A and B are shown apart, each in its own frame.
Chain A
Amino acid sequence: MTSSAITATGLRKAYGDKARGHKTVLAGVDLDVRAGSVFALLGPNGAGKTTTVHILTTLLAPDAGSARVAGYDTASETRAVRAAIGVTGQFASVDDLLTGAENLRLMADLHHLGKREGTRVVDDLLARFDLAESAGKQAATYSGGMRRKLDLAMTLVGRPEIIFLDEPTTGLDPRSRRTMWDIVRELVADGMTIFLTTQYLEEADQLADRVAVLDRGRLVAEGTPGELKRQVPGTHVRLRLADAARLDAAARVLPGATPDPDALTLRVPSDGGVKSLRSLLDRLDEYAVEVEEFSVHTPDLDDVFLAITGHQSTEAQTA
């Protein structure tokens, strides 16, 4: 096997619609994902993330371009691709009327694991995903976080080489999100390749080895999370002052700060930690600088988009 788990060249896709006309979703996307790595496709709603996943997972044929997944062509070697991948979509695709254990069993049966091996795999996954207690309950009664876990567990029954996670934490509470991140890290430790789509810069930063930014069907940036963040203003404190004189005064006592005379704001680089914030406040106090407003700003998807594309991510949103 080559060292690339996924490659794509020139993927294009447009949807024709009589009512709304022609809409280009992907306008030539190239991808190269190293085996055993986590690759994050970052972008707002409507950027083409799910379409990309659908093409790579054989659900959709591109209008142009080609893709190889696990060494197989997605168009001509569909079955081999399907045998090598696992997909967890944006909306948990679990069977509500079946229990958690039965959902996993269904997957085991469809993978023809046999009775004993199937039981072993199901029990393992229930224990590993902390679902053993609710294994006998119908999935309809599960919380959002549990459904996602069950969904991912179902994907893992077939021991895929490559896992596609389409917005795995959208709509989850922070605690379930962290649990999901831990699970993804464990999968990587097992040697799986993960292709992840997300709207959250933090998620890409936490999990991915490489990140590609998708905007209106085009890749506008690609690199490690570190490289990407270097293009984006880092975490900083934003101070708003009452007038130009106070802004000047504040800028003088805070070296490295960037004043914006029009908005009467001052951007002070900071890690956002309690210690550095306290020393910043102490310094302002020491020089008797009165501050109207004080906020800590951590970079998010909007900042990435503003820095890379020059427009807000929400502009790319489609209705």
Chain B
Amino acid sequence: MSAIADSLTMLRRNAKHSLRDPVVLFNAILFPIVMMFMFVYVLGDGFDVGGGAYVDYAAPGMVMLALCYGMGSTATAVNSDMTKGIINRFRVMNISRAAVLTGHVVSTVVRTVLGMAAIVGVAFAMGFSPSANLGQWFAAVGILVLTVLAVTWLTIAFGLAAKSPESAGFFAVPLIMLPFFSSAIIPADKMGPGIRQFAEYQPFTPIIETVRGLFNGTPSTGSTLAAIGWCVGIGVVGYAWALAKFTKRG
């Protein structure tokens, strides 16, 4: 019981951090919305996404972008906890040690899901008209939450492995670039050779395709299985790595 209570205490702490740091909120919620406006209103008409409104094509990709943008602050926060002395205070207290990590995981998942919900809300305001039924909505949300959980654990592992908060924050850069080299903005088959293969085989493409398919009411079993496989893989690697680093540093 005390492990749950300690985790909730740590969650409250992390939530306060998120709310007090304008950069965290901006990255997690506002910036993806700005990107969405830019792509849909400024660039969208120039893209050929094979019929249909661009906002319908872009919404799942933008949701993925929202997921990635918030992660940098988690890596930085985890690393700050480990390098700035507060972890030593927690370690010599008679508390559940994993509570520190649990607090980060839960607060990151909650913050990211809120950011993604905001993006979907804005997409609706911009004319997003998915044809998913209730079950497909649940499936899409399930895949997205699974992705958030997996990427969060990987982020936490990076935060623990990095030497300083600055280098931990740098982890976000490739993560932010990854959606651009996927089918998030335009279909992979419209890309140049090399990039196209990369886009087709990197994890975000099947995840985005799965969500897009579910939103359109035309789910694809192949990409769904690939998406789940990637999420479980990333999650397990992230979790194991994070735990190993935490035990070593903690």
Contacts and interface: CB of A to CB of B under 8 A. Distances in A.
Contacts of B91: 58-59
Interface string B14-27: 00110011000000
11 contacts: A82-B92, A85-B92, A89-B85, A93-B84, A93-B86, A93-B89, A98-B16, A102-B16, A106-B9, A109-B9, A110-B6
B13 A82 contact: no
A87 B89 contact: yes
Contact of B13 (A87, A91, A98, A111): A98
Contacts of A111: 93
Interface in A148-172: 154-155, 158
Contacts of A102: 16
A158 B9 CA distance: 16
A102 B13 CA distance: 9
A229 to B, nearest CB: 33
A158 B89 CA distance: 12
Interface in A48-103: 57-59, 79, 82-83, 85, 87, 89, 91-98, 102
Nearest to A57: B92
Secondary structure dominating the interface of A? loop
A79 B94 contact: yes
Given A82-B94, A93-B84, A93-B87, 7 more contacts: A85-B92, A87-B92, A92-B85, A93-B89, A96-B84, A98-B13, A106-B13
B143 to A, nearest CB: 33
Interface string B179-216: 00000000000000000000000000000000000000
Contact of A110 (B9, B16, B87): B9
A89 B9 contact: no
A112 interface: yes
Instruction: Determine which residue in B5, B17, B93 has the highest number of CB atoms from chain A within 10 A of its CB, and name it.
Output: B93
Contacts of B95: 110
Interface residues of B, number: 22
Nearest to B17: A97
Interface of B: 2, 5-6, 9, 12-13, 16-17, 20-21, 84-95
Given A106-B9, A109-B9, A59 B94 contact: no
Interface of A: 57-59, 79, 82-83, 85, 87, 89, 91-98, 102, 106, 109-112, 138, 154-155, 158
A111 B110 CA distance: 26
Nearest to B250: A59
B100 to A, nearest CB: 11
Contacts of A112: 2, 5
Contact of B21 (A57, A59, A97, A155): A97
Contacts of A106: 9, 13
Contacts of B13: 95, 98, 106
Nearest to B8: A109
A98 B15 CA distance: 11
A97 B88 contact: no
Contacts of B17: 97
Nearest to A164: B92
B20 A97 contact: yes
Contacts of A97: 16-17, 20-21
Nearest to B13: A106
Contact of B93 (A82, A89, A91, A138): A82
A183 B16 CA distance: 31
B21 to A, nearest CB: 7
A144 to B, nearest CB: 14
A59 B92 contact: yes
A173 to B, nearest CB: 21
Instruction: Determine which residue in B6, B16, B17, B94 has the highest number of CB atoms from chain A within 10 A of its CB, and name it.
Output: B94
Contacts of B90: 110
Instruction: Determine which residue in B12, B16, B84, B88 has the highest number of CB atoms from chain A within 10 A of its CB, and name it.
Output: B88
Contacts of A57: 92
Contacts of A155: 89
A183 B13 CA distance: 28
A118 B92 CA distance: 20
Nearest to A85: B92
